[in-house]
Structure 1
């Protein structure tokens, strides 16, 4: 018994020392930490904080930087435990959707952009870069981002920060009920960023990483477009209802995984604080899904790191390169559906809906509902619904 107590004390002392010295995370001694094909990914289930009750933009920005500083200790302590438990280093950490701000609600687009929008070269990304560098991990998350090319706009953006501190992936959400999309300023967006900027894939030493935002997991086209560009691991930042029943998003996470032979690392919020909504309305069920569509780790409720699992890229890559009925990615024929999609496009929302006289035009909040009502009306007239 005394030996076990001594062992636990030594482990705890080592964890505390690592936290105190900001040492990069590693696995147990003797593990091959340079083996990039097998490592642990961890979905951090943390509480999002609404900033709507803060008095001004300065207070909101101070709160975001303070929150970023807080998560370093949470990630470090959690990742040390995971490495000790599994024997594999944590190299990928996924944070929930809009963790540092919550959602905009009825705040106007320009006001929300000015209050909490992150600039690509702003202090928030710089602070996250320091966290990723200190921990030696790829850090994926989600925020609202401004862009000098589209003044007073914001785009909901999924990002991946490398251990170097550099932002190596920036994906702007394409399908959203109440937020601007690159498709709303399409021609100007393509001129600036190209298709690679619409469907980015980061080719890294831990695999080809891509990001999917929140309910976009429900749309197979987004994951497939990323997989066709090489994505092997989908980082899914979400804020959703957790349930003991299989939700639409839970079903979709498994489907996106097996149909693309890719991993899904999905981080949900542990509730949203600072709003009138009951705290725990959007929490639970963060998970890791393997390339066969199996949930291999899943969290319960509350703030937790327990959705962690090994990512075995050697096995998934072998499956992608093997002729088989289960190789759904290689069996796909994109050209088969291109004409059908093009023929069906007319009733739906087209590109450049927020452009006027060649310039971005900021809509009011009711625009989004009106736009969908118009689509429904056209679909009815076309006999689609």
Structure 2
């Protein structure tokens, strides 16, 4: 059997040192949600296929073209999750979370799967951080969700992005707009598959990325012009809250998200440094999704999905300094067998108090071991030889400043904690 294995096409590997930046992006975006009271939920990687067909929409590209669907050993149709909202809503219904305090505020992260043509920023296994706030239809909650996204990006040092926002209306808005949009679309010279899509779900035609379709639909009526009084009041209130929160935005009346469940507030974060794949995150409100998935109540919700992969690419496009965490804080350099034994024990004591430590294994000489210390990214190097061991001291070198000092072995744990503050 050939050993020439590679990762599946369109699925990136993250390994040191880049994996530290990946973790920093994911954890920073998640931390912004935690500070707003969102609790963690861990979702299954695959679900019943019908959950996504019903929740996301059978006419969407996600369901019709991009899902990884297969029969399991029990001949049940299951699908690798293409997005998170449907799974969260399923969990809320199944476990009765909607019968407690509202809104139910949940945060999740992990891989999602879509069969797309791989290119920079578009992967078949994509990493996301998401939040969902379910149970309250309040413009202030919409603004909170959007502000969490904005805060997460800014905490990372990202600056060259913009928030595009619109409203997709409600049950009163959509039928009137659908009629006007279909009248416009059926007046165009469309290919048969696009005409069928216009019949089934005309909004999906506006989400078509083909240049000829974008050009043909440039003059299509705008949904924002058909908003009901309630939808318009809701949208104006969201914008007012964003203004007070200091979150800048651009109204984009042609914004269409790729999932059918969106209603009212809909938004996307865009970064022009990424080329064609400019979206780094987005979301919106989804009134009616709970009812579609069989919930006994019909509670509204709002959420987002932020792309970890694309955010990392955006940071690199801006040449933002690495925000990755240190892999280790301390690197031990033993010079001799007895020194190694002592440093192995010391490393265990330091790790026990929360300090990340690595050692130069393999009996390297001082020069090679110090090169390894420099490559590790550690702040401090601990150099221990037979002479220091006999004197019960250890050499501590600050790898950033080059400053070196000799400290007692008996108090070294407390001394290192002090130096790392």
TM-score (norm 1): 0.23
Larger Rg: 2
